[in-house]
Amino acid sequence: MSSPSHGIGGLKYDPKKRHRPAEVNVLIALVAIVALFEVLGRLFVGDSFLFNTRDRVDTLFNEQRLKIIILQVSIIGIIALGVTQVIISGGIDLSSGSIVGGVAMITTAFAQSALNEYGMENVKPILGAEWLDLPIVVPLAIGLTVGLIAGIVNGSLISKFKIPPFIVTLGMMLFMRGVATFVTKGRPISFLQEEYTAIGNGMNPVFIFLGVAVVMHLLLKYTRYGKHTYAIGSNEAAARMSGINVDRLKILIYAIAGLLSALAAIVMSSKALTGQAGMGIMYELDAIAMAVIGGTSLAGGRGSILGTCIGALIFGVIISGFTFMRLDAFYQEMAKGIIIVAAVILDQWRAQKQAAKA
Amino acid sequence: MSDIVLKTEGLTKHYGGVHALEGADFEIRKGEHVAIMGDNGAGKSTFVRQITGVEQRTSGKVIFDGQEVNFDGPLDAREAGIEAVFQTLALADALNVPDNLFLGREKTKFNFGPFSILDFKAMREDTLKSLERTGVKIPNVDNPISNMSGGQRQCVAIARTATFHSRLTIMDEPTAALGVQETAQVENIIRTMKEAGEPLILISHNMRQVFDLVDRIVVFRRGRIVANLRKEDTDGQDVVAYITGAKTGAEYEGAA
């Protein structure tokens, strides 16, 4: 009993055998998938997936491909960062994709300019001529506020009226998709200001994604907010008993998720140079999938921002890899489906193995 | 001032038509360890839920530290100094030992409301200190609680009360689900508390344990207190008679 290597009940504990963090497994999966595409590429396409085989440029890696891998997942990645903390708290957010659509339409309606870059005149402004060329902060503030409010409504309904998150966010999903179509009766919005389109230009979405990821990582790892988020996802009754204001925390969690969906909407419409009512359809599921592939448990209490970032990269690699293999897009969807289910099976198997050891 | 830590007068709780607790008069003094015994549904847990603010009483008074108190919730009671270890463990499985000990009252380096930055080092040090003080041996406090045995979890829950120098500790069947060795560990912690003069209300079905650990035994039956016995003046058979209803304390005649 007195030996430090023994717990009570004679349980042995070996400090050298530490549990491998879940992120390491996800990273191994990412490396394995990249390696698989590299091998398959050399065998069937006669090209390298990862390395540069062009003589024109002098780089080791195929930088273009690496850039595209991360660029194409960075917008959904921003949503996934918000969804990750929602899932860790034991909830779910199905409304994120529709918030993207709604916010994209509302924001771009306020971000129109009188002339486009070719000097063409904007003859049919959405909100009338006096609403053109507003200071850039106006559309941004309006867009982010709409996302924030949608999130606060989600969180309030969930915590105050005790409605399951699935139902609340399903309702918000339908409502916001309606809002997206309502703004222009479904017409796309173009003639966006140059300051606005500069936001999502080039690799900016990647920098925004990484910046948000760092902030969210610090928030979840080092603050009271993060600790309590894990606590309510792990045992809500215990968290309540410990004096955590669970209702207020949930509202905050969904508010941040809504805010990040709005940010994704701004980046996306800016990058696409247009606002469209169909923007963000199915993004909520891709975002959830990224989080789950990254090791976030749908049962709550487990997961990390780092894991979700790697999960997003796995997504990007699969999309790029299938394009590189010259396979049709529907194979991508099939592969994504298989990987999501496989990730959850592996995770549960690992959890069971750990439980058996304890 | 008297040395009475907690006193209840006519504490009553009705759940609709069910009279779960009826006119309970109870007191506990400084340094005293009191056991609450009784059959299932006798009102033991209901009694604890009223004094810890988990539920709001129907009527009656709770006097803590010489003042009448009305706790809005368990946090209120905890801030006043009443710390409870509940039957259902109030621990977050995904968090490690320091995180659980300090859950809801984390130490922070900088204060920004919910975004306050946590002081992990101070919390870890305090955790190790209080584990040492209570004699709890946990090999790796950085392990999530989910990787620990039932006994270790119970010890963590109990160590939580020791960390914050609560003025009254309440344990609701702390060894119900534990093995022999683990039970011994928990009982050792309770003895340490006795030596430190910390008052304790212990709910238990285990007669041997009760006679080993406490000074006084209060028996509940069908929502009422039916006996208040000093350990020296009674024995196991006597207590069983009170629990089953074969006997009722002289001062409680007509109560049940």
Which structural domains are found in chain A, ordered by start? Answer: 20-53+60-357 (1.10.3470)
**In chain A, which residue's Cα lies nearest the Cα of B179?**
A9
Closest by CA position to B223, among listed B34, B39, B84 = B39
Which structural domains are found in chain B, ordered by start? Answer: 4-252 (3.40.50.300)
Flag whether residue A19 sits within 8 Å of chain B, measured between CB atoms: yes
Contacts of A148 (CB under 8 A, 6+ apart): A255, A258, A259, A262
Q: How far apart are CA A217 and CA A237, in angstroms?
A: 25
Chain B residues close to A237, C-beta within 8 Å: 88, 90
Sign of CA dihedral A117, A119, A124, A126: positive
Closest by CA position to A325, among listed A38, A41, A70, A63 = A41
Q: What pLDDT is attached to residue B91?
A: 86
Q: What pLDDT is attached to residue A18?
A: 58
**In chain A, which residue's Cα lies nearest the Cα of B100?**
A231
Burial of B87 (0-12, 13-18, 19+ CB in 10 A): middle
Residue pair B31/B197 in contact by the 8 Å Cβ criterion:
yes
Residue B176 CB neighbours (<10 A): 14
Starting at the edge strand found earlier in the chain, the sheet holding B33-38 runs: B82-85, B168-172, B200-203, B33-38, B216-221, B224-230
Tell me the whole-structure pTM to 2 decimals.
0.86
pLDDT by residue (tens digit) across B129-182?
888 877 777 888 888 888 887 778 888 888 887 677 678 999 988 888 788 888
> At residue A48, what is the residue type?
S
CB contact under 8 A, A219 and B146: no
Q: Is the pLDDT of residue B7 over 50?
A: yes
Flag whether residue A22 sits within 8 Å of chain B, measured between CB atoms: no
Q: How far apart are CA A87 and CA A264, in angstroms?
A: 18
Chain B residues close to A295, C-beta within 8 Å: none
Q: How far apart are CA A83 and CA A91, in angstroms?
A: 9
Place of tokens 């049709």: A328
CB contact under 8 A, A223 and B114: yes
Residue pair B91/B100 in contact by the 8 Å Cβ criterion:
yes
Flag whether residue A87 sits within 8 Å of chain B, measured between CB atoms: no
β-pairing, B4-15 vs B59-64, is: antiparallel
pLDDT tens across the length of chain A (358 residues) = 344 444 444 445 555 555 677 788 889 999 999 999 999 998 988 888 888 877 677 777 888 889 999 999 999 999 999 999 999 999 999 999 999 999 999 999 999 998 877 778 887 888 888 888 899 999 999 999 999 999 999 999 999 999 999 999 999 999 999 999 999 998 999 999 999 999 999 999 999 999 999 999 999 999 999 999 999 999 998 888 888 899 999 999 999 999 999 999 999 999 999 999 999 999 999 999 999 999 999 889 999 999 999 999 999 999 899 988 888 888 888 888 898 888 888 878 877 776 665 5
CB contact under 8 A, A358 and B146: yes
Nearest Cβ partner for A235 among B92, B115, B152: B92
